[in-house]
A = this chain, B = another copy of it.
């Protein structure tokens, strides 16, 4: 059985053909051209699918279906994109349009869900039934797999873990609330925390030697061994991140929490202190159902692999 996985991003669309064991037959990518609208996007995705099929010499009769991960609010049951601001798409029947153009059945889910399913099937979660992917990027994204199945919440509109408040009346969030997890634990938040600490401590090594215009989530980690200011930024960030992760773990009780996104590149410098806090704070302790914290392994491939996995039965 072959499956086609499509991961739609704000600037690029990735495609892959795999089998149920995760063997890759072909990969491809195209620009999203979001500003040209949904029909153009579907036309280009259909063309990429045809290209991948001919490049890999796979016939459509061998293909179980097309899985698509798409940003925004997705109605997976009806195969529609309810709203995807970055793609200028609203109430669009993406599944049926892809089917019309390709003659293949299509399933869709939110891109964060797709990435979580990819990591669960073929990445850091492959040994576990219950896993969560927490992506630390511009925001904090979450995807949840429990009992080997993708959990999307009611109306496939749940798992917005980045928009759960951890600091009541805290920093204003783009979603309209105050104190959301992602205002404290995203890469963008870490960058802001780093800048604030630098401005407050102009004598610190980080302040003295770093190019102020290129401060990012990596900066405090680069300096933490020799700069107490950098170290305190990292420690503070990890406390915020742990707070949200334990919240999610107490609600979903996964066997593993996988960290994705740029910040996760810090590996054990992040996962080790997080593991200590999770072990200390998880509800009723670690004896019955421990929760591991690890780095995700598929990187930017997770979405397309996970989208394809929408066609793999548990």
Cβ of A105: which chain B residues have Cβ within 8 Å of it? Answer: none
Q: Residue among A73, A240, A251 with the most chain B CB within 10 A? A: A251
What 0/1 pattern do residues 243 to 269 of A give for CB contact below 8 A with B?
A: 100111011111100000000000000
Q: A177-B246, A283-B175, A288-B73 are in contact. Are A252 and B168 (CB under 8 A)?
A: no
- Chain B CB within 8 A of A238 CB: no
Complex Cα distance, B252 from A289, in Å, reads 22
Find out whether the CB atom of B154 lies under 8 angstroms from the CB atom of A247.
no
B253 and A164 contacting across the interface, CB-CB below 8 Å = no
A82 to B, closest residue via Cβ: B288
The answer to whether B154 and A288 touch across the interface, beta carbons within 8 angstroms, is: no
A302 to chain B, nearest CB (A): 20
Which chain B positions have C-beta within 8 A of A159? 251
Contact of A253 among B83, B146, B154 (CB under 8 A): B154
A163 CA / B167 CA spacing, docked (Å): 14
* Complex Cα gap A224–B166 (Å): 29
- Residue of A154, A170, A288 with most chain B CB atoms under a 10 A cut-off: A154
Question: Interface size for chain A: under 10, 10 to 19, 20 to 34, or 35 or more residues?
Answer: 35 or more
Query: CA–CA, A240 to B165, complex, Å?
Result: 11
Take A130-B154, A153-B146, A168-B240 as given contacts and tell me if A281 and B251 are in contact as well, using a CB distance cutoff of 8 Å: no
Partner of A251, one of B75, B130, B161, B184: B161
From the candidates B146, B155, B167, B248, name the one contacting A288 in the complex (CB within 8 A): B155
Pick the residue among B83, B158, B176, B252 that contacts A158 (CB under 8 A): B252
Chain B nearest Cβ from A237, distance in angstroms: 13
Interface code A172-184, partner B: CB below 8 Å = 1, 0 otherwise?
0001110000001
> Is A55 an interface position by the 8 A CB rule?
no
0 or 1 for each of A141-170: is its CB under 8 Å from B? (1 = yes): 000001100010111011111011111101
CB–CB B146/A129 < 8 A: no
Using known A-B contacts A73-B284, A83-B284, determine if residue A157 contacts B253 with beta carbons closer than 8 Å. yes
Residues of A within 8 A of B (CB): 73, 75, 82-83, 129-130, 146-147, 151, 153-155, 157-161, 163-168, 170, 175-177, 184, 239-240, 243, 246-248, 250-255, 280-281, 283-284, 288-289
